[in-house]
Structure 1
């Protein structure tokens, strides 16, 4: 873990954005398509910590971006080239555009100044979406990655951020996957090699600065 001063330097509000990954009702809500993942995100406290980070980010002037996954009712443009996509087509709760399943899940709240970026294809919140262009236009160099899942979308986001030249910061208690032991292994053996790891409390402490004008 970096020192407080090192983390504070990395998390310059003027050059930092916070990304929530697939924190949507159909993924982590009470009627989620994957109940085991939803239970883990809630029971571990990860979802509540994401909400705390979102509130603190806004107070510090850090841009918040919510990355959501959805599909058209007719499925046009969606991937079918992996088992995960084919399974998703058969789930009882489908992430259909315009449905409640693709709304940001409580306790996270969306503010007017937030960006909500929706994707119809792929596994990554960054690749093939607006996120990279938005970050560059905002002058961001650091991306805080939170949400689900530690199995697929979160590591995808971290790898893509690093490949695009951003410093990725992962609050390790604000991400979730299944089983829980896999999340710990992913953090220890993979994310630790490419991202700056911290706790939610560490990030909150580093973000306690006056909001920029």
Structure 2
């Protein structure tokens, strides 16, 4: 089967979901907790491309899932078993439940039919959350993974998706991490081994029919 036909089969709207990972104001917003990452996402157009994919998914009837990382103001249930978690406690912008920081960042649209899944612990938008059960109940077999960061949450999402039996599709121009060259190395040497690597335009074309 030609690569374009194979991609189209994987991206069947009836069995595909679009996952946006930590595309929240407190992470990728202009005043987010991680200025270098936020600048990378915005200056390279990654956030705009995720928004374009979300619009295309809505039009095609593809389920959209927004995975948001947050913590309770009292910190209950949050992990402290990694340097990343401990550092997050000291950041000037904290991802507190109910705060503007955990709202999906513009220009990504959130439709009534979208699922917003919030996690209070861990590194992955799939492990230990409701995402897998929700997707299985919807008959989803392919997960298009976008967002941040290529350093931690995105590869976690890809590996977990594959381990759970989903086909993972990664638009290479719709994920970001720091430094920029790390993202390209991750895609080439790691994600390409387990996921279908494509582009935003190719996904949008497939959903446009």
TM-score by length of 2: 0.98
Question: Structure 2: where are the runs of 5+ without partners?
Answer: none
Distance of 2:15 and 2:46 partners within structure 1: 24
> What corresponds to 2:57 in structure 1?
57
Q: 1:93, CA displacement in angstroms? A: 0.1
Q: Structure 1: any 5+ residue segments left out of the alignment?
A: none
Q: Indicate whether 1:23 and 2:23 are aligned.
A: yes
| 2:96 matched residue in structure 1 | 96
CA distance in 2, matches of 1:203, 1:197: 10
Q: How does 1:110-189 map to 2 (within 5 A)?
A: 110-189=110-189
Superposed CA deviations along residues 58-79 of structure 1, whole A, max 9, x for unmatched, are: 1111000000000000000000
Give the aligned partner of residue 198 of structure 2: 198
* TM-superposed deviation, 1:205: 0.6
Distance in 2 of aligned mates of 1:169 and 1:134: 18
Output the aligned Cα RMSD. 0.7
Tell me the TM-score normalized by structure 1: 0.97
Q: Which runs of 4+ in 1 moved over 3 A?
A: none
Secondary structure of the 1:207 match is helix
Partners of 2:5 and 2:204 lie apart in 1 by 13
CA distance in structure 2 between the aligned counterparts of 1:100 and 1:147, rounded to whole angstroms = 18
The number of residues matched between the two structures is 208
